[in-house]
Amino acid sequence: MADYKYMLTERKGNVGIVTFNRPEAMNALNEEVEIEVTDALMAFDADDSIGCMILAGGDKAFCAGADLKWIASKEFPEAFRTDMAAYMDQVAELRKPVIAAVRGYAFGGGTEISLMCDMILADTTAKFGLTEVTLGVIPGGGGTQRMSHRIGKYKAMRYILTGEWIDAVEAERIGLITQVVEDGKLMDEAMALATKIANNPRLSVLAGKEVVNQQAEMPLTEGRKVERRLFHALFGTPDFKEGTAAFAEKRKPNYTKY
């Protein structure tokens, strides 16, 4: 892994962990942070020894959004020319699953990058919100689209147009996040979930993520066709043969490590 200024990375077995490390700014995003968090996750995605990833933050803030000192001076020509905020789109395109482990503030870009992940675990200190409207702008990292997909148009309208905060309990109730976990147990729960995923056959995990994500991008009929083709294709993998044989023989499967 590369040396990062604002990210910490570590491996625990077949799980890769990327942690925001800009505590003096509550892990706020600037151009360098956006590049580093994306590159760190992409590096684990390309690592054959890693089966799942966790994106974490600090105790006070997961990621408090964009650094206002960075964006306040921006003008339309520069933002448009550089396609500002587009680099992190690659997080949503990673093939391996990513779990966001959220503690503390996750506002603006912090909510947006968590929504790019495949699952979100949060403890009761977590606060989500697309607060950009209160600054005279709107989310630019896919927040309006992903929140609308996740919780529906009418709830999304409320939070996007008011900038209201959403605590972890409410976020779970409306389907914005996967699960609220007990304070002090966030990383333990995230690691347990990531390890369970990473220990499953790699190709079936990749295929499962791909078809679930397709559901949000295409009509049901087309999504079902993609699902069925990948379902058929997995019949030809050694892991499928091993998994079914182990089940029949009542033993633990010995899956191929891709």
Which of the following is catalytic: 34, 36, 132, 172?
132
Shortest CA distance to 145 belongs to which of 112, 177, 107? 112
**Three-state SS at 21:** coil
Q: With contact defined as beta carbons under 8 Å apart, do 129 and 166 qualify?
A: yes
Residue partners of 181: CB distance under 8 A and separation at least 6: 121, 122, 123, 189
Residue partners of 196: CB distance under 8 A and separation at least 6: none
Residue 66 is among the residues annotated as catalytic for this protein: yes
Place of tokens 């966001």: 100
Residue 109 is among the residues annotated as catalytic for this protein: yes
Which of the following is catalytic: 58, 104, 109, 143?
109
Which of the following is catalytic: 66, 106, 122, 168?
66
Q: With contact defined as beta carbons under 8 Å apart, do 18 and 56 qualify?
A: yes
Cα angle for residues 24, 11, 89 (degrees, 5° grid): 65
Shortest CA distance to 95 belongs to which of 10, 200, 207? 207
Which of the following is catalytic: 56, 112, 143, 194?
112
Residue 112 is among the residues annotated as catalytic for this protein: yes
Tokens (6 digits) for 149 = 């997909």
> Which residues belong to the active site?
66, 109, 112, 132
